[in-house]
Each structure stands twice: as structure tokens, then as C-alpha cells.
Amino acid sequence: MTRHIPNIFTLINLFLGCIAIVFALQTETISIYVGEDLSSHYNIPEKLGLLLFIMAAAIVDCLDGFVARLLKASSDMGKQLDSLSDVVSFGVAPSVILYQLLRTSFIKEENGLETSIAWLLPAFIVACAAAYRLARFNLDSSQSYGFKGVPVPAAGLFIASFPLILHYGNNVINVNEWLTNKWVLYAVIVMVSWLMVSTLPLMALKFRDFSIKNNIPKIMLLVVAVIAAFIFNWLAVPIIFIAYIILSLIFKKTFS
């Protein structure tokens, strides 16, 4: 029975990812004024703030590995199940978010309601890249203290922060126009997908020991995270994501 406990955590990760997709697909009708006298009705994602379920999935994703090591219950099945769950929670769910944000970006334009679905489908490139990244990870046993390419949960959390930024905002900078700009969103899709399938050396947030010298980049990332969260609210998530990549490249010799 003990050997199944980590798998239960993994399935909770999957369950939370499914809920996140449901909330991303829930809609409410609003009126958008195209001209002085003309208005259009359009559905936008409802309660996107509840995509915190993706955040919860990330926490559970960390716990399943910890529990497996604690109970000495690691298994090949658990490894495969973990990847399958991550594809949904951090690949498909973020792709649905991008799909909805692209819909919002096009509806702001003249004749936006007539936009072909073909312009929205690139959002799912992220899910495909996530699946490829996870399959490659499962076949590579060298990624313990360093990763090749951005981890799928990190990419998923980065994208999941977008609706949270839009809904809760911050007092420092207004990024709403950027996050509902189709070209910015397309750039994000290309960038995040490439980062996942690339072989860039990036640090894993695991501690080999508790010495400061061997954990300088992780400590620096923690400092950036605390300061950014205090100043920028949810905008801190993209800042942390970028800092993670920069610090990884600067200190790549310490874990590669």
C-alpha cells in the first residue's frame, strides 16, 4: 500500500490540472463597444483567478517526489504517471489559457468576432512542447541537479500567472495591453516552447548540501522572488521565471 501513496499525490496533480482547464473554459458574456453605437457580445474566461489550481498542482508535483523518496517508493510507473499528469497540468491547461487570451486579443480588433480559429490554435504548441520535453526527460538519467531546457512546471506556472496578473493587477505597472496583444502572446508561445525543448543548462532547485557556496544561485533566486513578490504582486512570477533562466546561465558550471 505504501508504494501507491506517491502515485496518489501525482493523481491529485492531474485532478487539479483538470479543474484548472474547466475554469479556463468557463465563460461569461460581456458587451464590447466597437463604435459609439455598436456593441458586440463576447464570452471571456470566468474567474480566471481560480487558475491558482495550477499553482496547487505544482506544489503537489513537488510533494509526490518528496514522498516517494521519503517512503523509498520510487518506481518506473510513478515516473511515467508523473509526466502524464504534468502534460495536463502544465502543458494543456496553460495552452487553454493562451487560447482564451488570444481570443480576447482578437475580439478587441475590428471584425474580431470573425477571426478564424486557425489563428488561435498555435496556443497548443506549448502542450506539444511540454509532452516532448517530458518524454525526453524520462529517457535522460543525467538531469538530477541540472535540467536540459526549462522544466515543464516552470513554464506552466509562468503562463498561468497571466490571467492572475490581468485580474488582480498591481500598483507598479499596467501590463494588461501586453497580455492581450496577439503578437506578444505569439512571441510567448514560441519562446516558452523553444525553452522547453532546448538543451539550455538550467539549475534544478535541489540542494546537494547546505553550504552557501554551493547554493549561491538558488539563494539569489530566493531573494529575487521575495523582493519581486513584495513589490510586483503576481507580476513577480514572470520576473522570477526570467531570473531563473539568467541565473542558471550565469552559474551553469556549478551544476552542469
Query: What digits encode the pLDDT tens for the residues 204-221?
Result: 876 665 667 767 888 899
Mean pLDDT of 13-38: 69
CATH fold group of domain 2-254 = Four Helix Bundle (Hemerythrin (Met), subunit A) (1.20.120)
Q: Looking at beta carbons, which pairs linking 203-209 to residues 24 or more positions away fall under 8 Å?
A: 203/145, 203/146, 203/147, 203/244, 203/247, 203/248, 203/251, 203/252, 203/254, 203/255, 204/143, 204/144, 204/145, 204/146, 204/147, 204/151, 204/255, 206/144, 206/145, 208/145
Cell numbers standing for residue 126: 506549448
- Residue spans of the domains in the chain: they are 2-254
Cell numbers standing for residue 28: 461569461
The tens digit of pLDDT for each residue in 102-148 reads 988 888 777 767 778 899 999 999 999 999 999 998 887 766 667 88
Mean pLDDT highest for which of 94-98, 114-118, 160-164, 251-255?
94-98
Give the total residue count for the chain.
Answer: 256
Mean pLDDT of 25-30: 62
The tens digit of pLDDT for each residue in 63-111 reads 777 776 776 667 778 788 888 999 999 999 999 999 999 988 888 777 7
